[in-house]
Structure 1
């Protein structure tokens, strides 16, 4: 049966960030994820997790300067030292929060820049991140993201992400399969899930095209959830969507799965 993690960056924005843990637990979530923990001491986040019986499923390594539009630095030439420091910071948080998955964002490539050079840097940086994370039993995941939401993002396709993981060759480097991004770029999700499941380390969901609850739009999520179960995926499924209105009021789609888990 699928297990769902609330994405506290996108969900429960009716509350301050530290209050979102309690709100998610009250609605029946057993796990949470979010983009970045670095604005808060790890101890404060750990207290919320423990106090509300929640598992930390995933967060992202530092992405560069998010406020000025950077969306990761893993593929950016000349930023290798900063990238290594970012992995050290992220792993310090994982040790304290207990999550076993760490998302590393590729970053942006501008028109006229060398894709080959970016890819070479990306491969080296991912090899470093995976090797460094392996001592703590952490799986590093990379995510193809559509260029409608993030124009110029370096990694967009599932097959490219799987090929990069194969080329690096680290057993703890896998792909984050975001159904929303994959549908926008490629479609044919069921076939890709069947093809790539062995290399998938984390799954996320949202309705397409508006990125609201997964109960409206182009994707038949009940079918996909059954397929994901059949394929043997036992990780968390991150709910990375923007609620149409109040978060709790929009969780009707989740209730049947919580009842099965009761």
Structure 2
């Protein structure tokens, strides 16, 4: 069975963030991910992980900004990463260094680098050299700490104008950069919306060694994976089959908004899909 990690940004929103670790552990999760840790001290988060027997398996580098206040402001102003944005290289590097410091304390093996939105007068062609240069630099820095850095294709409905949208484009970029620790964050929700043919893409890309992490959510509402048009039990079997064949041992992040999210016990009530899988 795939290893599932609770996404604490989207799940258990009926609770304060720091209380979500315990809730996830009580529901049987042994790992967590979330968007950003920077509003809290790394050691405070580490203590929560240790207290509840959890692994931190993923978080994002800052979307912009270099400290907690500016990171929050960047996200609130719709900054969705700066890895591909010319002129912000120094800010990108400072954000990655901050993420690496958090990863060291949290023992987190991978960091997601958001590509960012194309601005007025910009295109994928114009911004590609910046993106490649920033990814090479980040992969080199992460390799010193034994960590992976990830890039994620995101659908254009949820984030219009995002630089990276397709699996083939992401893998092409990774091949161009040529760093063994640069990998794809393969979100099956985004993949279904943009491309479809998800099972065949898992079979195509997982054996390459370039997929570092999966994420899931129901399509189209982004609720639990047993709600919507995707047959996730089938896809979990595909992941199992291919993982065993190529010895892939990564995680599947549950990055969805529970249908009863915000209500007491709402996240736990929607975990029938996970209980059935177990």
Is the structural similarity TM-score above 0.5?
yes
**Counterpart in 1 of 2:22?**
22
In the aligned structure 1, how far is the partner of 2:8 from the partner of 2:76?
Answer: 19
Instruction: Report 1:71-82 matches (<5 A).
Output: 71-82=80-91
C-alpha RMSD of the superposition: 0.8
In the aligned structure 1, how far is the partner of 2:62 from the partner of 2:56?
Answer: 17
In the aligned structure 2, how far is the partner of 1:3 from the partner of 1:182?
Answer: 20
Counterpart among 260, 267, 274 of residue 247 in structure 1: 267
Q: Which runs of 4+ in 1 moved over 4 A?
A: none
> Post-superposition shift, 1:111?
4.5
**Counterpart in 2 of 1:66?**
75
Secondary structure of the corresponding residue to residue 91 of structure 1 = helix
Secondary structure of the corresponding residue to residue 49 of structure 1 = helix
- Are the aligned partners of 1:8 and 1:32 in contact in 2 as well (CA < 8 Å)? yes
> Post-superposition shift, 1:112?
2.7
In the aligned structure 1, how far is the partner of 2:107 from the partner of 2:170?
Answer: 26
**Cα deviation digits, residues 155-196 of structure 1 (max 9, x gap):** 000000000000000000010000000000000001111111
In the aligned structure 2, how far is the partner of 1:240 from the partner of 1:116?
Answer: 30
Secondary structure of the corresponding residue to residue 231 of structure 1 = helix
**Counterpart in 2 of 1:228?**
239
**Cα deviation digits, residues 3-28 of structure 1 (max 9, x gap):** 10000000000100000000000000
> Post-superposition shift, 1:137?
1.1
**Counterpart in 1 of 2:197?**
188
In the aligned structure 2, how far is the partner of 1:89 from the partner of 1:251?
Answer: 34
Secondary structure of the corresponding residue to residue 119 of structure 1 = helix
In the aligned structure 2, how far is the partner of 1:200 from the partner of 1:77?
Answer: 27
> Post-superposition shift, 1:136?
1.1
Do residues 120 (structure 1) and 108 (structure 2) align?
Answer: no
Gaps of at least 5 residues in structure 2 are 65-73, 261-265
Do residues 55 (structure 1) and 64 (structure 2) align?
Answer: no
Normalised by the length of structure 1, the TM-score is 0.97
In the aligned structure 1, how far is the partner of 2:213 from the partner of 2:56?
Answer: 13
Do residues 31 (structure 1) and 46 (structure 2) align?
Answer: no
